[in-house]
Structure 1
Amino acid sequence: MTTDTERDRAGTKRIISVLRHDLPASLVVFLVAVPLSLGIAVTSGAPLVAGLVAAVVGGVIGGAAGGSAVQVSGPAAGLALVVADLVQRYGWRATCAITLMAGALQIALGVLKVARAALAVSPAVIHGMLAGVGVVIALAQLHVVLGGRPQRSAVENLLELPQQIMNNHSHAVAVGVLTIAVLVLWPRLPRLNSVPGPLAALLIAALTAGSLGWDITHADLAEGFGRWATPLLPEGDWHGVAAAVLLVALLAGVESLLCSVAADRMHDGPRADLDRELVGQGVTNMVSGALGGLPVAGVIVRTTTNVRAGARSRWSTMMHGGWVLLFMVGFSWTVTLIPMEALAALLVFIGVRMVNLGTLRGLHGHGELPVYVLTMGSVVVIGLAEGVLVGLGLAALSALRRLTRVSVHAGAEPDGRWHVVVAGSMTFVGVPRLMETLRRVPPGAAVDLELNLDFIDNAAFEALYHWRLEHERTGGTVVIDEVHDEWYASAARGTRLSAVRSLPRPPERWWLPRAYRRGGRRTGGALPAAGDAPVTDRSRRNAVPDLLAGTADFHRSTAPLVRPFLTRMATAQDPSHLFITCADSRLVPNLITASGPGDLFTVRNIGNLVPRHGTAPPDDSVLAAIEYATTVLAVRSITVCGHSGCGAMAALLSAGERTEGMPGLRRWLRHGDRTLARYLLADEVPGEPGDDGALNRLCRANVAQQLDNLRTHPAVAALEDAGRLELVGLYFDIGAAQVHVLEPDGFTPVAAGR
């Protein structure tokens, strides 16, 4: 009884959700789908009714059988050029048969579960193909907008365009310009956004042309269902037919799968089943081809509209197909009122929008812009299939280049030894670059050769091996240090190498606070959002176990990486800096200076204070560190680093209120009295880029004062006067994660490219 009641409640909840969210969304998608389907039918050279048939089948069948909850399928602009070519070559009925066979191939691929393999196609090729198709569509339909006829190719359309612009100023041009103007301006009218832009543009163009009596061409759907065509087996070379089936199946399938992946990023509902989606697309294309419709694919414009309209399930997609069917049965006569020039203008707008500038920025950041540009240009100049093949070839070459990328650097150290670093995948492709760099090493030089490789082939090994023998023959020495896997040593021993070895796994975001790592707030690898507070209660409760777990992580993943150079420095240290900073847990010296073991000789105390020379009672801890650093270690610089929100400085400002019950802290903070006096003078507070509060101004004043305190020590002053020691002031803004350096005119942020 309870189970039945819960099931009834769940069913009622689903019905309410469908009525509240999916029903309104389906109406919005329907209003977008009708004009787009008609426009794509026009540019494909197919009957107008074929676009509506594909929209109905894509909605009802694609929504029910597909693997995505919110994706909307229908005739896609990316397939328009392929369909137009097939219609010219084989005729419309044969094109329907090719669509049907392509659907069967998609079903077979989905059953074989190869959908994920389609995602291996470079997005740069897909986006470049779609952009090229958009350019071709826009150039062809622009001639219709201008009252002319499209030429045979995109290049001819481009060459003829100036002539068309100068000689055609008819009513057709006015309708086209009006349609594009509405499409551009409509999204900027927020109160009218409930009506989709494409529908509004066609309605306004039709009403304006009708009321003014303009001489235009109207869409022809007068024969309605009588124009439906059944599939007919294509005649001619079966090799060409098979290639056409493969092309339609792959292009429609890949576009649908990429659309599904994009749709998953737009909503929080169930994730897409890509194999089911591919099977569903196959079933949809078989039905669409059998009923005389265009090829179907997942369409990002309609899918985005569906999600933004509030769709929660596949019912929205299915109902939108039902609305299109209702329109075909009862209101198809309204299509005859639409000016063909308005449909052409809509296609021009769609074509231009297919060249997505946001995509360009993303591809440029990943170095894939040449693949995109070459694919787009090849589609426009040569053809769709040829352009895709060119793009795939360039993408493959680009991937091969990245996989075989090697970095080689060589330079002389102050002691005369040469340091050579080779990193990456060392193959025969990188041998010329390797040898060019190694030739810079003078004969007889002592060389430290650091190999940080994840692969080395025989050609690269032999080149490196023979160079080493030749260099040692001239009196030089070569010490090889392999940071990770021993590729060189294994090859020298004749040990068989595995195909590819991976580098040891690095520590799991070691720089994150422990509360944000494994077992804390961190889930799924997500970084903490701005404003998130760390889980301090858990951290305190499990302090010792967490510390030991971190030590185990170090032994497992970090120790193998640092052991080679820690072994060399195990008996002596040679730091170049004495780094005096606050004991605050949020300030990590090695993190903000990108330094490693052996770089910093560090002193940490409350408030990064340096007692002045001769202070009574003396503080031997800081003095001992200064003496050892300058006398024994001969450091070349001393840095005092303060930070924002320092608790010690807050205690100074509180006039002793915050040190109640802590006599040791009270005595220690007397070394900050001069800092407080400096702050109260106001005119000596260095570098105030805007008023950020009394506390942080005091923190910056404290850095300058501690440098002055350092200069009261005779040994420090003498070394600085002799030019053998440099004093540096740093200030770390914790909230902004920004380091500032003390210059003569105040604190300035350290630039990223410094």
Structure 2
Amino acid sequence: MSSDTKSSRLNTLRHDLPASLVVFLVAVPLSLGIAMASGAPLVAGLIAAVVGGIVGGALGGSAVQVSGPAAGLSLVVVDLVHTYGWRATCMITLLAGVVQLLLGVLKAARAALAVSPAVIHGMLAAVGIIIALSQLHIVLGGSSQHSAIANLVELPGQIADLHGHKVAVGVLTIAVLALWTRLPQRVRSVPAPLAALLVAAIVAWAFGWDVTRVDLSESVTEWAFPVLPQGDWHMVVSSVLLVALLAGCESLLCCVAVDGMHGGRRCDLDQELTGQGVANMVTGALGGLPVAGVIVRSTTNVKAGARTRVSSILHGVWVLVFALGFGWSIKLIPLEALAALLVFIGVQMVNLGHVKKVHGHGEVPVYVATMAAVIVLGLAEGVLAGLALAALLALRRLTRVTVLKHADRDGRLHVTISGSLTFLGVPRLTHELRAIPDGTTVDLDLNIDFMDNGAFEAIHSWRLDHERMGGTVHIDELHDEWYALAASGGRTSPVKSPPRAPDRWWLPWAHRRRPEPPRPLPSDDETAECLLTAGAREYHSRTAPLVRPIFTELARKQQPTHLFITCADSRIMPSLITSSGPGDLFTVRNIGNLVPRRGTEPHDDSVVAAIEYATQVLSVRTITVCGHSGCGAMAGVLSGGVQAGSLPGLRRWLRHGDHSLARFIETEGDRLHSGALDVLCRVNVQQQLENLLTYRKVEEQVNAGTLELVGLFFDIGSARVHMVPPLRPEFASVAARPLMTADD
């Protein structure tokens, strides 16, 4: 036996086997409850759990997702059973599996992700409310009505006519479910649904309560092949597509959610859809409920430590063993306890976390509309209503136009237009532009990703009128030149191009002036604050929309790979000369890019703290020391501190450059030539790399090969970056990869 095979088996025994048992304990009561809510034989829920676990787990595209009967499909199944009968419903499930299989083969899984999550969450919340209302009647000792509205209307009368023992069992079950999460961890190792049903069954048996028992007279062995539905074939086809699409969407969205819970292999969505299709074909043929990826069981599987699909497959095997060998024990469960479990599940399906998420994106109307329409009109009608509203809101956002105006002290007006400019935004656009006073000098920034002819005509017509009345308009397009091409008669592409960053962000303020006409620099009484404020405004209008997605992701944590130590000189821009972006460099800047040797005076905790944090917390892989030509700090070191003048703090700090000066004198002797300063600047970089090795952790990581020390030299006059070779031969690998040598 190979070591890999042995390791795989040990991994299964250690992680997947225990996880499969936990999922099995959750799956059995949930499968029975969903079958009951679906109006199907209870054994159909167990069949779906077995097939979803074994077939879906073996053929699906996710390593840890668990498939089985889904509460979100129960309303569809109830309606199908009522309309066509159970055996015909099984045939619809089988045909829905064929549709899913074909969609998976055709690589159409990604299209399902285009469905707004607000619609899915709203649908599931509505299904939860409907299930809770219908099963609440059973908990209270009565029977559910034909619709959610009827159940709601009949509820007061049902509460007034309580049935003692039956109500007690239901209340006991809900109480156990609600309190279970507050018990000690050791007790909570038993899944709450299983514990609630066990407590309810034991108490009802011990006190001899008069309750309704679960009827599991159907046997897995009593099987009949599904029959074709009778009736309008248009409705049959619609039913097949509805089951296929709802089950597929729920599975794929569950897949995406579960991928964020574990660090293993990512899900193959097309393979998952194919596996779900085969599973639905098998469960339909065997007389089971439709299956889909289920978030409750999948989350339980991940939290229980599952690593591979073996856990899902084994959970299906355990359900099969239970159904064949211990199915008789299900008769001990009170029907009211099972109904109470469904009430609890239904309430949990109204997830406030989902409401917060859609609220953050302005999609609460879609969520609420879908939920209300499903409750009042039906599942298919509600989903279509939600999709229609989501499409309308998306169209509205797509055509939303933002016009921002800001006046300078010199009377110039800055106008920024953002969004997609189509004919739908022309009324707002025209209103804002016509409000600009005649004779004003206007800087118009077009921060847009599309412009149709209607929008172009509106802007161009306003521009001509404004210039005719003595005003001036300077148009600057931050992305593709939609306006310029249209004005020149060129043909614009209908395809939106990805935004690109403004091409002048790196220019100094003094150079970042529009060429027509040149704008004056701030007068003497104006401070740099106005430049910073103007720069911040420019950042918000131009750059912030482009980089916001990056910073939203980086807001969670920083993971830089490089510690970059460089001079505080204003001409050095680390991100510019290394072409790095946000989150790449952990930067330390000081006068002369100095690294104080460990234990030297004057003591400096700032640089030391940065080195410790970068190497021991952030685990950077490279420390770079970057010097530059004409460094004033090195000029001060070269002058023996004379050039520091009456700056005592600077003189003390420059003592950390004494080792650089000593090494320079050692290599150059007493010869001082015109290029001596830049030579010292390069030697200083080499010396600071040596100083880094005086820190024990740095030296250990360098020797272990987990940390690399790199020297750079930026020649300001030529705007070129050179690699600085290290002093020690063992760092020759670093010097072997120069960007530019000293001779370039």
TM-score (norm 1): 0.70
Distance 1:44 1:31 in 2: 21
Residue 577 (structure 1) aligned to one of 527, 530, 536: 527
C-alpha contact (below 8 Å) 1:50/1:228 kept by paired residues:
no
C-alpha contact (below 8 Å) 2:134/2:151 kept by paired residues:
yes
Matched with 1:177 is 171
Is 72-81 or 357-366 further displaced after alignment?
357-366
Matched, 1:102 2:122: no
Q: Report 1:90-129 matches (<5 A).
A: 90-129=84-123
- TM-aligned CA distance change 1:667 to 1:160, over 3 Å: farther
Q: Which amino acid aligns with 2:197?
A: L
* CA displacement at 1:164 relative to structure 2: 2.1
* CA displacement at 1:294 relative to structure 2: 0.3
Partner-residue secondary structure (3-state), 1:225 = coil
* CA displacement at 1:499 relative to structure 2: 0.8
Q: Which amino acid aligns with 2:33?
A: G
Q: Which amino acid aligns with 1:194?
A: S
Deviations 1:697-735 (A, max 9, x none): xxxxxxxxxxxxxxxxxxxxxxxxxxxxxxxxxxxxxxx
- TM-aligned CA distance change 1:209 to 1:647, over 3 Å: farther
Measured on the aligned residues, the alpha-carbon RMSD in Å equals 3.5
Deviations 1:343-372 (A, max 9, x none): 111111111111111122121112222211
Residue 27 (structure 2) aligned to one of 26, 33, 38: 33
Q: Which amino acid aligns with 2:312?
A: T
Partner-residue secondary structure (3-state), 1:419 = strand
Deviations 1:89-118 (A, max 9, x none): 100010000000000111111110111111
* Stretches of structure 2 lacking an aligned partner (at least 5 in a row): 540-565, 570-587, 605-635, 652-744
C-alpha contact (below 8 Å) 1:222/1:333 kept by paired residues:
no
Distance 2:149 2:509 in 1: 57
C-alpha contact (below 8 Å) 2:93/2:243 kept by paired residues:
yes
Is 134-143 or 458-467 further displaced after alignment?
458-467
Residue 393 (structure 1) aligned to one of 388, 394, 402: 388
Distance 1:449 1:294 in 2: 61
Matched with 2:723 is none
* CA displacement at 1:414 relative to structure 2: 3.7
C-alpha contact (below 8 Å) 1:221/1:336 kept by paired residues:
yes
Distance 2:156 2:589 in 1: 66
Partner-residue secondary structure (3-state), 1:234 = coil
Q: Report 1:398-477 matches (<5 A).
A: 398-410=393-405, 412-477=407-472
Matched with 1:84 is 78
Matched with 2:290 is 295
Matched, 1:377 2:344: no
- TM-aligned CA distance change 1:664 to 1:296, over 3 Å: farther
* CA displacement at 1:160 relative to structure 2: 2.2
Q: Which amino acid aligns with 2:318?
A: W
Q: Report 1:339-378 matches (<5 A).
A: 339-378=334-373
C-alpha contact (below 8 Å) 2:510/2:521 kept by paired residues:
no
* CA displacement at 1:646 relative to structure 2: 9.5
Distance 2:345 2:258 in 1: 20
Deviations 1:308-355 (A, max 9, x none): 111111111111111111111111011111111111111111111111
Distance 1:76 1:175 in 2: 25
* CA displacement at 1:81 relative to structure 2: 0.4
- TM-aligned CA distance change 1:170 to 1:645, over 3 Å: farther
C-alpha contact (below 8 Å) 1:222/1:336 kept by paired residues:
no
Matched, 1:64 2:58: yes
Instruction: Name the count of aligned residue pairs.
Output: 569
Distance 2:46 2:510 in 1: 65
Residue 209 (structure 2) aligned to one of 214, 217, 234: 214
Distance 1:435 1:93 in 2: 63
Distance 2:41 2:145 in 1: 20
Distance 1:504 1:314 in 2: 41
Residue 189 (structure 2) aligned to one of 191, 194, 198: 194
C-alpha contact (below 8 Å) 2:223/2:287 kept by paired residues:
yes
* CA displacement at 1:449 relative to structure 2: 2.7
Matched with 1:204 is 199
* CA displacement at 1:161 relative to structure 2: 2.0
Deviations 1:197-245 (A, max 9, x none): 0000000001111111111111001343365443011000000000000
Deviations 1:663-716 (A, max 9, x none): 46986544799xxxxxxxxxxxxxxxxxxxxxxxxxxxxxxxxxxxxxxxxxxx
Q: Which amino acid aligns with 1:315?
A: V
* CA displacement at 1:500 relative to structure 2: 3.0
C-alpha contact (below 8 Å) 1:410/1:420 kept by paired residues:
yes
Partner-residue secondary structure (3-state), 2:123 = helix
Q: Which amino acid aligns with 1:74?
A: G
Deviations 1:530-559 (A, max 9, x none): xxxxxxxxxxxxxxxxxxxxxxxx88x967
Partner-residue secondary structure (3-state), 1:224 = coil
Distance 1:336 1:132 in 2: 31
Matched with 1:712 is none
Deviations 1:454-494 (A, max 9, x none): 21111111122222333334443433333333222211221
* CA displacement at 1:442 relative to structure 2: 2.7
Partner-residue secondary structure (3-state), 2:189 = coil
Distance 2:439 2:357 in 1: 48
Matched with 1:142 is 136
* CA displacement at 1:591 relative to structure 2: 11
Distance 1:55 1:259 in 2: 17
- TM-aligned CA distance change 1:230 to 1:590, over 3 Å: farther
Identity %: 62
* CA displacement at 1:394 relative to structure 2: 1.3
Distance 1:437 1:124 in 2: 33
Distance 2:9 2:600 in 1: 67
Matched, 1:9 2:3: yes
Residue 49 (structure 2) aligned to one of 51, 55, 74: 55
Q: Report 1:291-330 matches (<5 A).
A: 291-330=286-325
Deviations 1:144-167 (A, max 9, x none): 111122122112222222232233
Q: Which amino acid aligns with 1:308?
A: K
Q: Which amino acid aligns with 2:140?
A: L
Matched with 2:15 is 21
Matched with 1:245 is 240
* CA displacement at 1:265 relative to structure 2: 1.4
Residue 155 (structure 2) aligned to one of 149, 152, 161: 161
Partner-residue secondary structure (3-state), 2:277 = helix
* CA displacement at 1:127 relative to structure 2: 1.1
C-alpha contact (below 8 Å) 1:124/1:372 kept by paired residues:
yes
Matched with 2:492 is 497
- TM-aligned CA distance change 1:40 to 1:419, over 3 Å: same
- TM-aligned CA distance change 1:668 to 1:202, over 3 Å: farther
Q: Which amino acid aligns with 1:43?
A: A
Matched, 1:231 2:226: yes
Deviations 1:269-317 (A, max 9, x none): 2221111111111110011000000001011111111111111111111
- TM-aligned CA distance change 1:112 to 1:461, over 3 Å: same
Matched with 2:580 is none
Is 72-81 or 359-368 further displaced after alignment?
359-368
- TM-aligned CA distance change 1:369 to 1:647, over 3 Å: farther
C-alpha contact (below 8 Å) 1:590/1:596 kept by paired residues:
no
Q: Which amino acid aligns with 2:17?
A: L
Distance 2:510 2:289 in 1: 62
- TM-aligned CA distance change 1:396 to 1:655, over 3 Å: same
Q: Which amino acid aligns with 2:55?
A: I
Distance 1:479 1:645 in 2: 39
Q: Which amino acid aligns with 1:111?
A: V
* CA displacement at 1:503 relative to structure 2: 5.0
* CA displacement at 1:385 relative to structure 2: 0.5
Distance 2:265 2:649 in 1: 62
Q: Which amino acid aligns with 2:25?
A: L
